[in-house]
């Protein structure tokens, strides 16, 4: 109880002696509905509150388990210095985790995209395509090409992300700290292009198997090793790399846009949020990574789509011994400029989701290993 009387108590006590009463009127209690639960019986019970409480408990338990596992992993790996061999190894493994599983998960979308790029009249839409494929080839048919996709993009992701971190540091040291900040977009573009050039050498054989499996019915191979052996038996090892040039033409601009736009978008997000990047926790930083990655993925899909169509066409229709330029000219004559954009809406959805998830997984792994997330760095101190 309060030590001194309130204004209402004083007013009610002395109001007969005062002609004025300045106390505010007490609001009337709302009349309860006959459908309203009796508060005296259910005063502490609520479905929403119960769900919130359970969610908070699960979240706290998951956070504790994450911290425990993260501490064990960091203790086992030892202290990871930035830009050390351990740092690049961690980034390489993070890229492997981010790319292999995410690309495999969108295999159904990729399957429809590739088949529509080869024959635009094959399916009218995704659901019709999945229905026809599942009826003809079973549910497993929807994941045709999933095996080479997983192995190929795991290898590509390892070289791409690990290589990007290496080349970004390499080029930054080459031009100096201040120039690296002033011309940071150029550093991002050069580093990502260098990393992707190497990563595509690892991806190309698996991409050749994947595209042929997805664009032939029934699929010409039962799996990755079967596909590689069939191609090499018929065309030699060069058959696995006949799509390398258009793959570079697709993947290098794609990766340049992916990394440079991601870094720029993330920096813009943090610039518009109150405080600095360091003020935000793990969940907020990975949410920013996903948002920046999704927006960057949309730009990537548009920039690289014509080359993606040409890769599918070359792997499916290039004749043995046919020159690269002659094959491209023949295919372009058949499909025209508009044909280079077949399947773009599907690819925007696929690549946007894919890129967002990749950056989120990659940065979450970096947090798991005690490393800072990508993007949003502060400018260097002025000398």
Per-residue confidence (pLDDT) for residue 279, from 0 to 100:
86
Give the separation between CA 174 and CA 35, rounded to whole angstroms: 74
Higher pLDDT, 45 or 288: 288
Other CB atoms within 10 Å distance of the CB of residue 297: 28
User: What is the pLDDT, as a whole number, of residue 118?
Assistant: 72
Query: Is the backbone peptide bond immediately before 348 cis, with ω within 30 degrees of 0?
Result: no
pLDDT attached to residue 18: 47
Does residue 9 register a pLDDT over 70?
Answer: no
The answer to whether the beta carbons of residues 212 and 196 sit under 8 Å apart is no
Helix axes 184-215, 224-235, angle to 10 degrees: 80
Q: What is the pLDDT of residues 65-88, one digit of tens each?
A: 878 888 888 888 888 999 999 999
Q: At 139, is the pLDDT very low, low, confident or very high (cuts 50, 70, 90)?
A: confident
Q: How far is 159 from 162, CA to CA, in rounded Å?
A: 5
Model confidence pLDDT, tens digit, residues 340-376: 888 788 788 878 888 999 999 999 999 999 999 998 6
What pLDDT score was predicted for residue 126?
74
**pLDDT tens digits for 241-255?**
988 988 898 889 889
User: How much is the pLDDT for 26?
Assistant: 54
The CA dihedral of 298, 304, 310, 316, to the nearest 10 degrees, is -60
Checking if the pLDDT of 23 tops 90, the result is no
pLDDT at 378: 56
Query: Residue 22 — very low, low, confident or very high, per pLDDT cuts 50/70/90?
Result: very low
- Among candidate residues 183, 232, 184, 185, the one with its CA nearest the CA of residue 205: 232
Residue 219 has a pLDDT of 75
Comparing C-alpha atoms, which of 131, 91, 135, 85 is closest to residue 108?
131
C-beta separation of 74 from 86 below 8 A: no
Average pLDDT, the chain: 82
Res 41: pLDDT:
53
Q: How many CB atoms sit inside 10 A of residue 211's CB?
A: 23
Nearest to 260 by CA among 306, 194, 307: 194
Residue 259 phi, psi (nearest 5): -80, -45
Report whether pLDDT(198) > 90.
Answer: yes
Rg (CA), the chain: 29
Q: Which residues lie below 8 Å from residue 156, measured CB to CB, with a gap of 6+?
A: 99, 199, 200, 202, 203
Confidence band, pLDDT 50/70/90 cuts, at residue 183: very high
Question: Quick one: pLDDT at residue 190?
Answer: 97
CA atoms within 13 A on the CB side of 332: 9
Q: Token pair of 160, please?
A: 């791409």
The owner of tokens 């080869």 is 118
Residue 30: is its pLDDT beyond 50?
A: yes
Residue 235 has pLDDT above 60, yes or no: yes
Q: Of 49-58, 92-101, 280-289, where does mean pLDDT reach its minimum? A: 49-58
* Alpha carbon distance 113, 108 (integer Å): 9
What's the pLDDT score for residue 111?
Answer: 86
Q: What is the pLDDT of residue 267?
A: 92
Dist CA 14 CA 194 (whole Å)? 86
Average pLDDT over residues 203-214: 91
Share of the chain above pLDDT 90, in %: 38
pLDDT at residue number 266: 94
**Token code pair at residue 207:** 């991409």
Q: Is the separation of the CB atoms in 129 and 123 below 8 Å? A: yes
Check pLDDT > 90 for residue 191.
yes
Q: Are 213 and 223 in contact (CB under 8 A)?
A: no
Rounded Cα gap, residues 54 and 321, in angstroms: 64
- What's the half-sphere exposure (Cβ side, CA atoms, 13 Å) at 185? 6
Q: Among 24-33, 52-61, 177-186, 219-228, which range has the highest average pLDDT?
A: 177-186
């Amino acid at each position: 109880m309060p030590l001194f009387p309130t204004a209402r108590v004083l007013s009610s006590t002395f109001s007969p002696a005062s002609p004025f009463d300045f106390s505010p009127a007490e609001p009337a209690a709302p009349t309860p509905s006959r459908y309203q639960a009796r508060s005296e019986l259910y005063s502490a019970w609520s479905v929403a509150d119960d769900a919130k409480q359970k969610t908070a408990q699960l979240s706290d338990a998951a956070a504790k388990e994450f911290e425990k596992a993260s501490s064990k992993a960091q203790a086992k790996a030892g202290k990871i210095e930035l830009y050390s061999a351990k740092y690049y190894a961690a980034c390489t493994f993070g890229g492997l985790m981010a790319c292999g599983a995410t690309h495999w998960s969108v295999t159904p979308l990729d399957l429809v995209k590739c088949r529509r790029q080869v024959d635009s009249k094959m399916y009218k839409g995704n659901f019709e395509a999945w229905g026809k494929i599942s009826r003809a080839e079973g549910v497993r048919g929807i994941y045709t090409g999933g095996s080479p996709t997983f192995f190929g993009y795991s290898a590509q992701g390892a070289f791409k992300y690990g290589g990007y971190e290496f080349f970004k540091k390499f080029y930054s040291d080459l031009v100096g700290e201040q120039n690296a900040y002033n011309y940071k977009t150029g550093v991002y573009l050069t580093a990502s292009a260098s990393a992707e050039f190497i990563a595509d050498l690892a991806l190309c054989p698996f991409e050749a198997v994947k595209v042929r499996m997805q664009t032939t019915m029934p699929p010409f191979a039962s799996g990755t090793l079967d596909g590689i052996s069939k191609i090499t038996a018929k065309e030699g090892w060069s058959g696995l790399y006949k799509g390398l040039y258009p793959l570079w033409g697709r993947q290098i601009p794609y990766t340049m846009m992916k990394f440079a736009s991601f870094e720029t978008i993330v920096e813009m997000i943090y610039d518009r949020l109150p405080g600095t990047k360091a003020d935000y926790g793990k969940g907020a930083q990975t949410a920013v990574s996903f948002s920046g990655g999704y927006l960057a993925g949309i730009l990537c899909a548009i920039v690289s789509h014509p080359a993606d169509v040409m890769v599918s066409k070359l792997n499916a229709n290039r004749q043995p011994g046919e020159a690269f330029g002659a094959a491209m000219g023949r295919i372009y004559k058949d499909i025209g400029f508009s044909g280079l954009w077949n399947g773009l809406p599907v690819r925007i959805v696929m690549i946007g989701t894919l890129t967002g998830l990749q950056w989120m997984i990659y940065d979450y792994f970096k947090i798991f290993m005690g490393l800072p997330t990508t993007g949003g760095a502060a400018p260097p101190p002025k000398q």
